[in-house]
Amino acid sequence: MSTQHGTPHDSRRNRGLFRTKTVEQSIRDTEEPEHTLKKSLSALDLTVFGVGVVIGTGIFVLTGKIAKEQAGPAVALSFVVAGVVCALAALCYAEFASTVPVAGSAYTFSYASLGELPAWIIGWDLILELALGCAVVAVGWSGYVRSLLDSAGLHLPAGLSGTHEGQFGFDLLAFLLVLLLTAILVFGMKLSSRVTAVVVGIKVTVVLLVIIAGAFFINGANYTPFVPPSEPTEAGGGLGAPLSQLMFGFTPANFGTMGIFAAAAVVFFAFIGFDIVATAAEETRNPQRDVPRGILGSLAICTLLYVAVSIVVTGMQKYSKLSTDAPLADAFKDLGQPFFAGVISFGAAVGLTSVSMILLLGQSRVFFAMSRDGLLPRAFSRSHPRFGTPYRSTIALGAVVAVVAGFTSIDELAELVNIGTLFAFVVVAVGVILLRRSRPDLPRSFRTPLVPLVPVLSVAASVWLMLNLPAETWVRFAIWMVVGFVIYFLYGRSHSRLGLRNRQPAED
């Protein structure tokens, strides 16, 4: 009989819903021949993945929209605040990904620190986040391509252009994009990384071109006032109001100091995706060194680009006169520069292909890891004998996401992506603290500084941003979580490989 003090980890590991999977066992599972993923990625590949998934239409649209509506020229400071919040989470992700270099990201980290049920819940959450994120981006890409086709005199039939303003239709372009990206992912990570590198190269070139060209049209008077006077927002009610307003009676303000922080809660979502880098840890040649570099490097590059674009767009045109649909493109049009407006649309369309592909990549890796653990059918955890990719989970999820992108209006779904990401941030930060206590002996090539302060700050910042989401988003999220609980108790719990191992007679 062990003392409570002597083996807290072992006693907890065998305890039903909160049994934890050791880091050593997680790594051993990756060495099973039929479940092994090919290691082909470098730190540069991971950085490119991070930049590829974060830099999307947000850099061309969100910068000007938030400047006009919430922060004025101080939107640059909002991006810095949001970048700091993401950096707190990134430091936690970097420690976990270098300590547990296994596919699955927050799901795998949770299994090692919080236990099986929390791991299932975060995995279920990530499946929703990444599937909807991929579908949302594919539909956005379809809109840009249709716009470019219309400019060239080519028009798709209304019935194949998606669902818009209550008019039901099938989005053929979004459907085909997801199927194409699924095929690329099946054929191997190195091919995926090469395609992504080309796309990201084009996208970053367009962004830099816009920054450099826009700098020649900056008028210093447009920066005055840099922080416009505060304006209380109209108080709304019902489920459409932010949860913080319903809980505390708090009414947010636009502009002023509070406007900078309110805008940070919005522009934060332009950073969503850097955590995808952690899902590729198992396919990285030197994950202990390269995954932290990929996560932190991509976040630093994206923050710098966002701040630069926001400074340019608010300098080119007075913040109050910016358009909300395509502010950067329209600012160039108003200055008699239609060429750059076209370049922006092209860059957005090209860039969104990498965003969709990397979201789909991340989702298939989470699904693969959950399947390998037995929480989802094991058939999906087979890796391709030639390409070394989780082809079954990739094909199955690609087909589902293609259909969702083809038939779904994305307006109501986009915010579910946001709450899912923030929930994952909270879990990873808590997991860092718990694993430091339960397994201080683990070799950690990257250590989150100032533990527990940095993880606690990450949790606080993420929860604050979650409270700024509409209450109806919380309701939808709760429904998805309930469905997840049902599936776990009907299937996952009884098929768990860890549970089956623990049920084998092995008295200590």
Q: What is the pLDDT of residues 204-234, one digit of tens each?
A: 888 898 899 989 999 999 998 888 888 777 6
Cβ atoms of 122 and 110 within 8 Å: the answer is yes
The CA distance from 169 to 189, in Å, is 34
Assigned domain for 7 exists: no
Alpha carbons within 13 A on the beta-carbon side of 362: 35
Assigned domain for 387 exists: no
Assigned domain for 377 exists: no
Q: How many residues does the chain have?
A: 508
Segments forming the whole domain that contains residue 454? 49-233+241-362+397-499
Looking up residue 94, the CATH number of its domain turns out to be: 1.20.1740.10
Q: 379: which 2 tokens?
A: 């058939």
Tell me: the pLDDT tens digits for 433-469? 988 998 888 888 889 999 899 999 999 988 988 887 7
Cβ atoms of 290 and 192 within 8 Å: the answer is no
Give the pLDDT confidence score for residue 415 in this predicted structure: 62
Cβ atoms of 341 and 330 within 8 Å: the answer is yes
Assigned domain for 412 exists: yes
Assigned domain for 368 exists: no
The CA distance from 207 to 354, in Å, is 15
Give the pLDDT confidence score for residue 234 in this predicted structure: 63
Q: Indicate the residue type of 182.
A: T
Interior CA angle at 402 toward 400 and 406, to 5°?
A: 120
Residues of the chain with pLDDT under 50: 1-13, 506-508
Task: Say which DSSP state 395 is in.
Answer: H
Give the pLDDT confidence score for residue 337 in this predicted structure: 81
Domain count, the chain: 1
Angstrom CA distances, 197 to 23, 55, 286, 358, 404, stand at: 32, 13, 19, 12, 27
Residue 171: strand pairing partners: 161
Q: 456: which 2 tokens?
A: 């606690």
The CA distance from 69 to 64, in Å, is 9
The CA distance from 97 to 283, in Å, is 12
The CA distance from 187 to 113, in Å, is 33
Q: 459: which 2 tokens?
A: 């949790």
Query: Around Cβ 359, how many Cβ atoms within 10 Å?
Result: 27
Q: Indicate the residue type of 86.
A: C
Query: Taking the alpha carbons of 411, 415, 421, 423 in that order, is the dihedral positive or negative?
Result: negative
Angstrom CA distances, 34 to 21, 279, 391, stand at: 20, 19, 12
Torsion-angle region of residue 450: left (phi > 0), alpha (psi -120 to 50) or beta?
left
Give the pLDDT confidence score for residue 35 in this predicted structure: 65
Assigned domain for 443 exists: yes
Cβ atoms of 303 and 80 within 8 Å: the answer is yes
Tell me: the pLDDT tens digits for 310-364? 999 899 989 888 876 667 777 888 888 878 877 887 887 787 888 888 888 888 8
